[in-house]
Structures are given as C-alpha cells and as structure tokens.
Structure 1
Amino acid sequence: MDAPQPKPAESEAGQEAPPADAVASNASQLLEDAEAALGSIDSQNQPASSPSNASQAKPSSAAPFQLQDLVGTEGPPEKCSIDLLRDVDLDLKIELGRTQMLLEDVLQLRRGSVVTLDKLAGDPVDLFVNGRLVARGEILVLNDNFCVRVAELVGSDAVVE
C-alpha cells in the first residue's frame, strides 16, 4: 500500500508555498548579495597602503567637530528692561483660611451664615500669584478699605495644591 503523498503547504491566501529547497536557495542568494555589498563598502573605506588595517581606516574627508562658544548678544537697553513685564496680567489671590464642608452644609448656607476657617484672627494670610504661594501678610484697614501688608516673602520651592 502506497503512503499518501504530502500535499504542498498552502499560504493564507490559498496559494501553494514554494518548496523548501527553493526558499533555501533564495536565502543563500540574498546572503551572498549582502556579503558582496558589505565587502564593497569595506574596500572603499580601506586605505590602499595597508589593506590589513580596515578596522582603523577613516574616511579622508572626516574632520573633528568643533563647537562654537555660545555667547549671548545684548540687545538694546530699552528691550532688556523690566518695562517689558509691566503689562503682564497676573492672578493675585489672598487666602484668609480654608475649611472642608459637606455638600449638605454648603446647600444650607444663607445670608449671615458663619463659616469657621482653619486660622485664628491675627494669623498671617497667604498671597498667591497664579496659584503659587509668594508671600504672607497681615490684614489692615486703611481708609475704610481692607488691605494686606506683606510681612514675609516665601521661597520659590513652596507650591500649594
């Protein structure tokens, strides 16, 4: 009884795959082509006087890269002054204190309700510029207006959530 002949492998597209020996010959041809291309590149970079020093060969047009000094040029004095910042709008907030409340308690607030804060009367208030704590000060009344006298500047490391 004859053994059944294996069917040629089919690809996903339904076409027959090439035989294994054809794939091997194509792979060996590609490998030979790649080795020939690498050999031609090596022969171009190799100096004519010493063919054994191919690893030390450098292209003749190569030159070391030189960095230029980075020196800023000063612009006209009128462009370098603080006057450029005079028209910049900043958001300034003064925080008397904080508290946490339930939504139920917030909904019950009416005119005249009292909200207790986490600071005592006379404690310094916080001054925020664009959300960043920059200073602390004390509340004053001047000509019937509230104002803040800056008592302490806070370092740039202080960030408040």
Structure 2
Amino acid sequence: MSTDTPDTMNEDSIADDWAQALEEQASSGATVEPAPAFDAPNAPSANTMPPGGSNATQDIQMVLDIPVQLSVELGRVKVPIKYILQLAQGSVVELDALAGEPMDVLVNGYLIAQGEVVVVNDKFGIRLTDIVTPSERMRRVSKS
C-alpha cells in the first residue's frame, strides 16, 4: 500500500507537468535555467561555503526560513476613488504597461526580476527573463 496522500500525488503531478513544459521549451531551442527548488537538498550548505565563513553560514541559515512577499506586477494605474466606485463586473481598467512587456517580479515591494507569463494546465507561472543584479538592487533600495 502506498503512503502517498492525494495532496502529495497532486503536487507531484503538477511538478511533473511544469518539468515537462520546461523540457518542451528546451527542446524547441530556447535556453532555460530552472530555478532551484525552495527545499532543494543540494542547496548551499556549510560544506560549500568559503573557508572561514562559518559565522556567515550560521547567519545566512538563520534568515533562509523568513517568509517574504513575492508578487508579480502586470502594471499600475492611479485613479480617483470615484472611478473605483463605478467599477462593476466586466469593467476594464487600463494599466500603464503595454501588452507583451515583461512583468515585474517584486519581493517585499522591491524589483528583483522581470519575466513573462507561462501557462501549464490552466495554472499561471512566470518565466524569469531578466534578474536585477545585487548591486542594482542595493542602488534602488538606497534611493527609497
């Protein structure tokens, strides 16, 4: 008898679907670098850290489980409250982004990457196309 629960089997099925979609993309000639899984067993450990970095390793280990807000922004618009009160089902809100433009990926409100929408089995995802460099992120944070 299997010890898998329906939730575990469903998660495995979804992961297989995403893997298959990425393989299809790779076979079509596009280059893909899969992101590391959050619970990856091969994530950096104390053994892969530079020598003398044991304190740094302990420090980074302390923050790895801190939850952050990850959001993908399609676009923005500033509107008066009277416009919002007039919205109804079927209303269209025009955003400042153009169709086909990359979407912004934000962590706690700070831009970290841009990407494009992908759909697998009626689920939306985002394929990262451009990562903001750490130095650029620091420059943007210091401006705020």
Q: What TM-score do you get using the length of structure 1 for normalisation? A: 0.47
Aligned to 1:158, the other structure's residue is in SS state helix
Structure 2 stretches of 5 or more lacking a match? Answer: 1-51
Aligned-partner residue type, residue 110 of structure 2? R
Q: Encode CA deviations 1:51-85: one digit per residue, 9 max, x unaligned.
A: xxxxxxxxxxxxxxxxxxxxxx75479736x5433
Q: Residue 86 of structure 1 corresponds to which residue in structure 2?
A: 64
Are 1:97 and 2:79 counterparts? Answer: no
Q: Residue 40 of structure 1 corresponds to which residue in structure 2?
A: none
Q: Residue 108 of structure 1 corresponds to which residue in structure 2?
A: 86
Are 1:147 and 2:125 counterparts? Answer: yes
Residues in 2 aligned to 1:130 and 1:77: alpha-carbon distance in whole angstroms: 23
Residues in 2 aligned to 1:119 and 1:77: alpha-carbon distance in whole angstroms: 41
Residues in 1 aligned to 2:77 and 2:126: alpha-carbon distance in whole angstroms: 21
Q: Encode CA deviations 1:30-58: one digit per residue, 9 max, x unaligned.
A: xxxxxxxxxxxxxxxxxxxxxxxxxxxxx
Q: Residue 19 of structure 2 corresponds to which residue in structure 1?
A: none
Structure having the higher helix fraction is: 2
Q: Residue 158 of structure 1 corresponds to which residue in structure 2?
A: 140
Q: What TM-score do you get using the length of structure 2 for normalisation? A: 0.53
Higher RCO (C-alpha under 8 Å, 6+ residues apart): 2
* Pair 1:150–1:74, CA change in 2 (3 A): closer
| 1:131 paired residue among 109, 117, 123 | 109
* Pair 1:128–1:77, CA change in 2 (3 A): closer
* Pair 1:103–1:152, CA change in 2 (3 A): same
Alignment of 1:1-161 (within 5 A): 75=54, 79=58, 82-154=60-132, 155-156=136-137, 157-159=139-141
Structure 1 stretches of 5 or more lacking a match? Answer: 1-72
Q: CA deviation at 1:126?
A: 0.5
Aligned-partner residue type, residue 126 of structure 2? V
Q: Tell me the C-alpha RMSD between the 2 structures.
A: 2.5
